[in-house]
Amino acid sequence: GGGAMDSGPTRSTMGGFPSLEYTGTVKSPEGTMVTSRVVLAFNGTAEYFVNCQYTAAHEDEIGVGCDQVVSSFRTT
């Protein structure tokens, strides 16, 4: 069990709103280290978040996908 906060909060933008980004790592029940990158935004009435989880073997591809989701995120 247990995990660690690797970084954060870091200020960024999601959906045109100020957001905070955190990165943390935890060991899965199978023993694999899994990183979770969470971006949180609040537009004044609702909270939004994106959580991208990945293992070291998939960090680059998931990182690119997560960046695309966060940068294209829109609220209506």
H-type alpha helices, the chain: 59-72
Structure confidence by residue, pLDDT tens digits, 22-64 = 999 999 888 899 999 999 998 888 899 999 999 999 999 999 9
Torsion angle, alpha carbons of 16, 21, 26, 29, to 10: -10
Exposure on the CB side of residue 14, measured as CA atoms within 13 A: 23
pLDDT of residue 26: 92
Asked if 28 and 36 count as a contact pair (C-beta separation under 8 A), the reply is no
Strand arrangement of the beta sheet that strand 3-14 belongs to: 3-14, 17-27, 33-42, 47-54
| Per-residue pLDDT at 76 exceeds 70 | no
pLDDT of residue 73: 86
